[in-house]
Structure 1
Amino acid sequence: MTKQIVVILTFGLLTALLTGCDPYYSITITNKTSDTAQILVKETINFRTEKQKSLTTTDGFDVYKLAPSEQMQVGSAISEIDNDIPFEQIKIVRNKDTVTANNLEKIKSLFDKKIFGGLQTPYNISIK
């Protein structure tokens, strides 16, 4: 009888602890085009990628190249993304088109959205 109570209490406690955790999401940039794209970022301390940068510009942007259909993980966020965005500024260059976001609101506007407007998780910036 006591063994059953201990098992039930342990299961209940573990369930409560695990459901109370904030979700952990990756932050990626995906090139969904048929062209190579250049990603220029001014990184924060949250920026983490395994991809090698091509160069650093004179104005402090690190440049990464994304081949067609390639993804680059650039960090992660716990639940809300506001404090975990891995760059201060981003420029996406494809052919002769450039998209620039240089503040939190503009950067957040680049992320994929759900049908009703919120940010889609895991967090992704799609280049289309």
Structure 2
Amino acid sequence: MRFVTGILTALGFVLMAGSAQADENIDCGYPLNQAERSYCAEKALEQAEADMSAALTRALAKMTEVDSTLPDHLKGSPDALETAQIAWLDFREKDCTAYSFPFKGGTRGTELYRNCMIVMTMQRTDDLNAMVDDYGG
């Protein structure tokens, strides 16, 4: 039995290593199965979050710049934005959980949750970029 367990464990490590290499060859324009769809969605979420982070950095820099020109009683935009971003992240997680809740525990629930996270993150990025434009880009 130990021999079989050892073989299965070794096979698992080989499959995981092969999977990492296979991930690099996935065409996210046409994912063929659930594993590929999950991989591509995860990559899309990572990219959306990176884009949002960059937009937030630009918005904070712009607000800091604007704040420096304001009288003391009007200062505080960067802190307000940071507080809003924390609240938005909490809202996004709760909203996507609610959206996907009827399918919780299944593949469909995970897919709905992740897609919701991607869409909301992209919308937030657009909002942050618009904020920078509104403040004189």
Task: Give the structure-1-normalised TM-score.
Answer: 0.26
Question: Which structure dedicates a bigger proportion of its chain to helix?
Answer: 2
Question: Which structure dedicates a bigger proportion of its chain to strand?
Answer: 1
